[in-house]
Homo-oligomer: A and B are copies of this chain.
């Protein structure tokens, strides 16, 4: 970690990684504009926090040949947890931005789309959800959305990385507000292990708000993990998982769909939403249910009522029943693959 700059292998973009101090805030550190004198360190992870002079650029083998960049006003935090690099910066037009291992997790400007859709797609599809488990989602945004449902009695969250929770509470109060709900129980630990230890059939819904399938979230895209979710859900219970982009990751999605069709004997569906700061400008979700009372995800039966929402929260920005239904409609190139897979 001695060198400040690195060339990411396989790209020609000069990247600058600001000096890191493990677990320590470096609030107020400016992004400087010099980019000379960088050494070429091929051992670097491609997920370093990479900053072009004055800009943050998101480069990854998961979306080769393209990069989205945001102009940086100020780096507010950098740290290295036991699991990943954590960075927060003030962007010039997307508000504050949370970055894990060089990949944008949320921006204040567009986080509503992801958090609202991954949460309300499952919870508005079943009557009176009472017990909900969130895996990942340490920023608290999914918790905020779950807490809009007055039927919910218990919200468990298992996040592996304590630093993500702390950083969210400090820099993203409108997201981490989810933690203020008294129904929330935070567990810091491995989601896979947590799920193995919960009693069978106790949750109405599980929401897996994970990062990409490289790094700490890799297991969350594999079959054994889906099996532990199915076990933890009641009959006719639902799961919603982050499931990448149909433009970029059809090969990953094909495998996830095939796995889900083997494990979830109720229904298996793919939905998507626009998120400008995610690669390809969109992200998808797997929506599945276990054997039991039928769940028709495409026709929500449990609409969110403005009246019942906690008054402490800002109103929904993105989700409504129409966009819920629309999110399951797929472009033909994706529909052909997803609908044929595992059938």
Point out residues on A near B: beta carbons under 8 Å. 11-14, 33, 52-55, 57, 64-71, 91-94, 109-110, 112-113, 245, 247-248, 272, 274-282, 316-320, 322-323, 325-327, 329-333, 335
A69 to B33, CA, bound (A): 19
Residue numbers in B under 8 Å from A318 (CB-CB): 331-333
Check B335 against A331 for contact (C-beta < 8 Å): no
Check B317 against A13 for contact (C-beta < 8 Å): no
Given contacts A318-B331, A323-B331, contact A66 B57 (CB under 8 A): no
Given contacts A13-B52, A247-B110, A326-B329, contact A93 B66 (CB under 8 A): yes
Residue numbers in B under 8 Å from A64 (CB-CB): 71, 92-93
Per assembly, the copies of the chain total 2
Check A322 against B329 for contact (C-beta < 8 Å): yes
A245 to chain B, nearest CB (A): 8
Q: Which partner residue on chain B sits nearest A107 by CB separation?
A: B66
Given contacts A110-B247, A280-B281, contact A325 B329 (CB under 8 A): yes
Residue numbers in B under 8 Å from A320 (CB-CB): 331-332, 335
Given contacts A329-B323, A331-B113, A331-B318, contact A11 B247 (CB under 8 A): no
Given A319-B332, A326-B329, 11 further pairs, Cβ under 8 A: A11-B71, A12-B54, A64-B71, A112-B333, A274-B280, A274-B282, A276-B279, A276-B282, A318-B332, A322-B329, A322-B335
Residue numbers in B under 8 Å from A67 (CB-CB): 55, 68-69
Residue numbers in B under 8 Å from A113 (CB-CB): 331
Residue numbers in B under 8 Å from A33 (CB-CB): 12
A221 to B158, CA, bound (A): 50
**Which 7 A-B pairs rank lowest in CB-CB distance, beginning with the nearest?**
A281-B281, A65-B93, A12-B54, A326-B326, A326-B329, A276-B280, A65-B92
Check B330 against A323 for contact (C-beta < 8 Å): yes
Residue numbers in B under 8 Å from A276 (CB-CB): 245, 247-248, 279-282
10 A–B contacts from the bound complex (CB under 8 Å): A65-B71, A67-B68, A248-B276, A274-B274, A275-B281, A281-B281, A316-B332, A319-B331, A322-B329, A323-B331
Q: Which partner residue on chain B sits nearest A68 by CB separation?
A: B68
A333 to B111, CA, bound (A): 13
A263 to B248, CA, bound (A): 40
Q: Which partner residue on chain B sits nearest A13 by CB separation?
A: B55
A337 to chain B, nearest CB (A): 12
Residue numbers in B under 8 Å from A282 (CB-CB): 274, 276, 281-282
